Chains A and B, each alone.
Chain A
Amino acid sequence: MAWEYRIFKDLHQIPREEHVFPGTPLCAGCGGLESLRLAAKVLGNHVVYVNAAGCFTNLASFPFTPLDASWLYTTMGSAPAGAQGVRDALDVLIAKGRLPQDEDVKVVVLGGDGSTYDMALSSTSGAITRRLDFYYFCYDNEAYGNTGVQLSPATPYGARTATSPCAVRNPVGAVQEKKDIFEIWRAHRPPYLATVSPRFPLDLEEKFARAAAYRGPKLFLGFAACPTGWLFDPAYTPDVARLAVECGMWPLKEAIDGNVVHTYLPKLSPIEDYLKLQGRFRHLFEPTVQKDALAHIQATVKAYWDRVQQGDSV
C-alpha cells in the first residue's frame, strides 16, 4: 500500500512563517538546522524545547535566540526527564486554570545522536514507558559533533571520525554497525515514530502534521548532513541528504502504533554515489579501493530492503 500525502501535497503549502530565525551560530549548510526549521513551521511557537547538550545548544546562546518558543537546556543524559518536568508543570497549570486548556503547549526534546542513541537512552526509555506526551526530535549527524566529531553509536560502518580514524591496523574507520534506534523505540510501542530528511520537505512536513494527532511519545529521527563533521562542501548538504535516501541508507518511514510503513521507495542507487561525496568515507576509495568494506555496506543496505520487500516489518 503506497503511502499518501494527506496534508502537504505541494511545496507551496510549506508555511512561510518562520519559527527558527536566522542569525544562528550553527555551521553554514547545517543539515540539522534545515530539518529543525522545517519542523518548527509545523510545530509553531507554542513549544518548549528541551535541549540536550550538543551543537544545537549554540542556538540559544545568551543574549541571542533564534526561537520564538521557550528553551530549557539540560545535560546530555537527561533531556527526556527535563521534558517530563516541563510537561507535568504545564499540566498542573492547566488543572489549576492558570493556563488555558486550548493553549496546547508542545514539549519537544531536541538532541543530537550522541544523547539520543547513547547517553540519554535510559532516560528516554523511562519517558516512553511512562507514556510521556512529548516529541523527541533527534538531528542525527552520526557523531558527537559539538566536541569535534567523535564516534557515536549512530556512526555508520566505514566512517572516519576523530576516534575511529583510518589506521594501518584498522583501515575501515568505524567497524561498528549504526545502532537501530528506531527499532529500540518501536519495541516500546510508542504511538508515532518517523524518520525524515530535509531534502524531502513535504514528507517531513506531512509527518510532523500527522504526529500532532497522537498523544504520547513521538520520535523524529532527522537526517543531519554535517559538512563540518562529514567533510564536504556545505553546498552539497542537499545532495548528500538526497543520496542517503536514494541509495537506501536512510529509509524514510513511519510507524503508527508500531506498524512500519516506508513513505518513499528509493531508487537504491549504488552506495558509492553517496559515500564518495564525503571526506569521512574517502579512505574507502583512496589510495586503494577497500572493496570488502564497500561490498559489506552495500550488502547491509540490500538485506534491509529485501526484508522490506518480503513484507517484514523492517
Chain B
Amino acid sequence: MIAVRFHGRGGQGAKTASRILGTAAFSEGFTAQDSPIYGSERRGAPVSAFTRIAKEPIRERGIITRPVLVVVADVSLIGDPAARMLEGIDERTAVFVNSPLTREELRAQTSLPGRLTTLDLTTIAVREFGKRGAISALLGAVAGRLVGLRPESIDRAVAQELADLGVDASLIRRNQTAARHCYEAVPLVPVEKDVRGAPGPTSLRAPTYDPPTRGTASITAGPNSAIRSMSGWRTFRPVLRPDLCNGCWLCFANCPEGAITIKPDGKPAVYYPHCKGCLDCVEVCPTDAMTVERETEATKTT
C-alpha cells in the first residue's frame, strides 16, 4: 500500500490534492481512500490530508503516521509543530516540498530527512492563474507522478474534482495545463511501495484525573493571544515602502489583526509575528506603498 500525506495551509488545497490523487488512482483500477483533517482554526492554519492507494482492499483507517510520501504545500509547515509534518518520516520517506530552493539548498536550510525533491509550484501557479490561490491540482499532479500514476488519469481527476467544487471550465483547463507541467517537471525520487515495518503494538493507558476537590484551573487571563506568532500562516507578506507612504492610516484602520502599529513619526509599521498575510493593507493603500513579497524561508520567526 502507498500511503501519502499532504500538508498545506487552509485555502492552499491540500484536501483537494488528496482527492485528486485518490480519484486518479481509482480510475487506474486501484483501491483508494482519501480524507482530510483540520482543527477549528481556519484559512491559513495547518491542514493535513491522507491518500491510501493499494491493489487490494484497504482496511486501515484514520490518519497516516508512517507515510511513504509526504507532500508539503508550504515551507512554513516544516517548522510549525502544529502541522506535525515530520511525524513518522525517516531517510527512506520521499518528501516533496513546494519551494524555489533546490533539494540541496532546502536540506541545508532545514536538515529535513528523507528523499527530498522540490519544485516551485507557487511561481507556476501565479504565472498560470495570475494570482495566488489553491494549488491543489499541482500538488496532486506531483504526488501522482511520484507514485507512478499516468498523466491522463491525473488530468481527468483534476477536471472531476475541481468541477465538483464549482470551478469554472476555463480555470479547470488552466489547472490542467499547470498540473501537466508540474507532472513533467518534478525531479523524481524513489517512493517505497509498501509501509515499512508494521507499527509496534500500542499499550492503552488509563487516563488519570485530578480529584474534583482540587478545583478548576484559573480562567482569568489578559489578552495573551499576542504571544502566539502567526508568521507561519503567511505565504506572502506585505512590505511597506516608507518613501511612498502618505501616512493616511488606512492600512492601520483596515488590518483585521491589529498587526500594523503607528510609529512616532505617524507612519505605519507591520509587526510580522502578528501578520497572517491577508494582504488587506496592500489592497487599501492608496499610494501602492504596501508591496507584496513571497515568503520563502522555511523557519519564519518574524
Residues of A within 8 A of B (CB): 11-12, 14, 16, 18-31, 33-34, 37-38, 55, 58, 61-68, 146, 160, 166, 198-199, 201, 227-228, 233-239, 279, 282-283, 286-287
Residues of A within 8 A of B282 (CB): 235
> Which listed residue, B166, B224, B277, B283, touches A64 by the CB 8 Å rule?
B224
Which residue of A28, A37, A287 contacts B278 across the interface (Cβ within 8 Å)?
Answer: A28
CB<8 Å pairs between A and B, sample of 24: A11-B250, A12-B249, A23-B228, A25-B41, A25-B45, A27-B42, A27-B44, A28-B233, A29-B278, A37-B258, A63-B221, A65-B224, A65-B225, A66-B226, A67-B223, A68-B223, A201-B253, A228-B42, A228-B43, A234-B278, A235-B280, A237-B256, A237-B280, A286-B168
Q: For the complex of A and B, list the 4 residue pairs with the smallest distance between their C-beta atoms, beginning with the closest.
A: A29-B278, A23-B225, A22-B274, A28-B276
Known: A11-B250, A23-B274, A235-B278. A33 touches B43 (CB 8 A): no
| Alpha-carbon separation in the docked complex, A279 to B133 (Å) | 12
Question: B149 within 8 Å of A by Cβ?
Answer: no
Partner of A14, one of B42, B225, B253, B257: B253
A26 touches B131 (CB 8 A): no
Number of A-B residue pairs with CB-CB distance less than 8 Å in the complex they form: 140
B168 neighbours in A (Cβ, 8 Å): 282, 286-287
Cβ A22 vs Cβ B41 within 8 A: no
Judge whether B188 is part of the interface by a CB distance below 8 angstroms: no
A28 contacts which of B169, B252, B261, B277 (Cβ < 8 Å)? B277
> Chain A residues near B250 (CB, 8 Å)?
11
Contact residue among A22, A64, A160, A233 (Cβ-Cβ distance under 8 Å from B259): A22
C-alpha gap A26/B40 in the complex (Å): 9
Partner-A contacts on B (CB < 8 A)? 10-11, 40-45, 131-133, 166, 168-169, 219, 221-230, 233, 248-250, 252-259, 261-262, 266, 271, 274, 276-280, 282-284
With A28-B278, A38-B253, A228-B11 as known contacts, state yes or no: A21 contacts B223, CB within 8 Å.
yes
Let me know if A233 and B224 touch, CB within 8 A: no
Contact call B249/A14, Cβ cutoff below 8 A: yes
Other CB < 8 Å A-B pairs besides A199-B284, A228-B11, 6 of them?
A: A18-B258, A23-B230, A28-B233, A58-B40, A61-B40, A239-B283
- A227-B43, A228-B42, A286-B168 given; A22·B225 CB < 8 A: yes
Residues of B contacting A23 in the complex (Cβ-Cβ under 8 angstroms): 225-230, 274
Contacts of A29 in B (CB 8 A): 43, 256, 276, 278-280
Kindly list chain B residues whose C-beta atoms are within 8 Å of the C-beta of A38: 253
The docked-state distance in angstroms from the alpha carbon of A22 to that of B223 is 9
Task: Determine the residue in chain A with the shortest Cβ distance to B285.
Answer: A238
| Bound CA span A65–B42, Å | 16
Interface residue from B40, B256, B283 paired with A33 (Cβ < 8 Å) = B256
Q: Which residues of A contact B258 (CB under 8 A)?
A: 18, 20-22, 37
Given the known inter-chain contacts A235-B283, A238-B254, please indicate yes or no for A287 contacting B230, CB distance below 8 A: no
* Shortest distance from the beta carbon of A146 to any chain B beta carbon, whole Å: 8
**Docked-complex contact A235 and B279, CB < 8 angstroms:** yes
Min CB distance A59 to B, Å, is 8
- Give complex CA distance A31, B274 in Å: 17
CA distance in complex: A237, B253 (Å): 13
A33 partner residues in chain B, CB cutoff 8 A: 256-257
Within the complex, the shortest CB–CB distance from B287 to chain A, in Å, comes to 14
- Quote the shortest CB–CB distance from A277 to chain B (angstroms): 11
CB distance from A198 to the nearest CB of B (A): 7
Interface centre among A21, A30, A65, A239 (most CB of B within 10 A): A21
* Contact residues in B for A283 (Cβ distance below 8 Å): 166
In contact, B166 and A25 (Cβ under 8 angstroms): no
Contact: A198 with B274, CB < 8 Å?
Answer: no
The interface residues of chain B lying within 8 Å CB-to-CB of A30 are: 256
CB of B160, distance to nearest CB on chain A (Å): 17
B45 surroundings in chain A (CB, below 8 A): 25
Q: Nearest A residue to B219 by beta-carbon distance? A: A62
